[in-house]
Amino acid sequence: MRRALPIVLVAAACLIASCGDEDEQPTTRVAGDTLTVYASLPAHGDDAAAGRAAEAGMRAALRDAGGTAAGRTVRLEVLSATRPEDDAWDPGTVEANAERAADDDTTIAYLGELDRGASAISLPVTSRAGILQVSPADGLASYTRRPPGRPRAGPERYYPGERRNLVRMVPSDLGSAREIVAALRSSGARRLAVIHGNGIADRELEAMVLWLLGDGPPKDVFRADALPKEELEPAEGEVERTPSGEPEPLADLVAELAAARPDVLLYSGPADAAGIATLRAVARELPDLPVIGGPPLARAAGLPGMPSTGCAMTGVPPAAELPPRGRRLLERLRASGGDPDLGGEAVLGYEAMRRALAAVEEGGPDRAAVVAAARPARVDDGPVGPYAIDRRGDREDAEPVCVGLADAVAAGSVLAGRLP
């Protein structure tokens, strides 16, 4: 017993002093005089202009705050979510961006992603690191709740250990799905056609709309995958074309669509070159067919040759839909940056940075405290108008904007000049 006493005393001393790595609790406090906010934004491809707009807004918000929060200097590090050869965001690049932020001891917040569905890649990384993530425009419903029609697509897969860390500046796509269903029902349509994409956000939006429709009306009478770019622009050889010059896969798709005699088309595919070609073919062959869809359709609306009947739901507000404070901010950003075409992403980028800085101001240089301070929250003076962030990170009172396709044709598209 006498020989065991020193061992017992040493063990007790270790318990008091927290000896050994296993007993040490990692700190969430960021040391030093400088805090880093990382932003992951598209720099190439179809969404490059949206990325530049969001970055302009983020930098303006940081300047307006004097470049500081909680008595510390704050620097913004912008990373590209795309590769030079990409048309859209790249999963490997997005994951690398989040990992870089997680590995940086000075990181206090991460602003991303801008593209729908891209935060599914970065969220598990930032959640594991305990970093606040503020998304300017990713409305994927399953980040915050289990979407109707997708019972296996719950939030738990994005948050290791249930450490929720997301705040977003746009309404959930569930709101878009509800508005689409309301528009379909009020139209009196009986027969619904669906062209859907293969992205997580595309599949989720379609599933929610069809689940909310239930037994209809309208009843879906036609479903098809959006054509991939490779079918219209094969890497090798020439694509088969009809006598009129239409790629045969596209002509076949539109012919099958016409044979189904739908009253309305739900387009939940992407706004890439193949998607644009598909929508133009629909407008050409079925000019009276109304088209309804989500954010990708809103981005493409107004391009030459696009459908002119229908509506697209989006959480990115057109300039005309912004409150006076938001319109003044957008005018300032356009003037200071010399870019008269900056869109609503600039205002959302501004507000994303502003919310991150407000959380840092309240929580101090501590990652856990910043996440806790970010939600729930009430904002009365924002450029997007008054809003509340609920405990899940959603904007409680945000509703999608319906962009009328006829109005978009008259006004021109946010993609004009960036797609053929």
Fold of 174-314+403-411: Rossmann fold (3.40.50)
On the question of pLDDT at 172 being above 70, the answer is: yes
* 61-95 pLDDT, tens digit each: 999 999 999 999 999 999 999 999 988 999 999 99
CA distances 20 to 15, 16, 25, 333, Å, are 9, 11, 11, 53
Which percentage of the chain shows pLDDT scores above 70?
A: 87
Structure-token match 């929250």, residue found: 377
Amino acid 363: pLDDT: 98
Tens digit of each residue's pLDDT (9 = 90 or more) over 96-112? 999 999 999 999 999 99
Q: Tell me, what's the pLDDT at 151?
A: 83
pLDDT at site 161? 80
Chain centre to alpha carbon of residue 318: 16
Whether pLDDT at 252 is above 80:
yes
> Is the pLDDT score of 146 beyond 90?
yes
Task: Dump pLDDT digits (tens) for 276-293.
Answer: 999 999 999 999 999 999
For the cut 50, the answer to whether the pLDDT of residue 240 exceeds it is yes
For CATH 3.40.50.2300, list the domain ranges present in the chain: 34-171+323-389, 174-314+403-411
* pLDDT score, position 18: 44
347-376 confidence digits (pLDDT tens)? 999 999 999 999 999 999 999 999 999 999
Q: By mean pLDDT, which of 180-189, 226-235, 293-302 is the weakest? A: 226-235
Q: Are 53 and 330 in contact (CB under 8 A)?
A: no
Count the Cβ atoms, other than its own, within 10 Å of residue 103.
Answer: 10
Phi-psi region of 219 (alpha: psi -120 to 50; beta: other; left: phi over 0): beta
| Residue 113, pLDDT above cutoff 60 | yes
pLDDT bucket at 414, cuts 50 / 70 / 90: very low
3-state helix, strand, coil in the chain (%, to 5): 45, 15, 40
Q: In the predicted model, what is the mean pLDDT of residues 410-417?
A: 42
Asked whether residue 409 carries a pLDDT value surpassing 90, the answer given is no
Q: Flag whether pLDDT at 24 surpasses 70.
A: no
Which of the pair, 417 or 30, is modelled with greater confidence?
Answer: 30
CB atoms within 10 A of CB 152: 7
pTM of the complete model beyond 0.85? yes
pLDDT of residue 300: 86
Mean pLDDT over residues 312-321, rounded? 90
Q: Over 50: is that where the pLDDT of 17 sits? A: no
pLDDT band with cut points at 50, 70 and 90 for residue 322 = very high
pLDDT for 321:
87
Q: Who has greater pLDDT, 329 or 417?
A: 329
Residue 52 is encoded by which pair of tokens?
A: 């530049």
Nearest to 141 by CA among 180, 173, 176, 178: 173
Mean pLDDT within 133-155: 94
The dihedral sign for the CA sequence 78, 82, 85, 86: negative
Measured over the CA atoms of residue 282, residue 284, residue 290 and residue 293, the dihedral's sign is positive
| Distance, CA of 127 to CA of 98 (rounded, Å) | 10
CATH homologous superfamily, domain 34-171+323-389: Response regulator (3.40.50.2300)
Over residues 255-262, the mean pLDDT reads 96
**Residues 144, 111: contact at Cβ < 8 Å?**
no
pLDDT of residue 93: 98
Among 47-61, 197-211, 297-311, 322-336, the minimum mean pLDDT is found in 297-311
Whether the CB-CB separation of 136 and 352 falls below 8 Å is answered with: yes
Q: Report the distance separating Cα 32 and Cα 34, nearest Å.
A: 6
Mean pLDDT value of segment 141-147? 96
pLDDT at residue 20 is higher than 60: no
User: Chain-wide mean pLDDT for the chain?
Assistant: 88
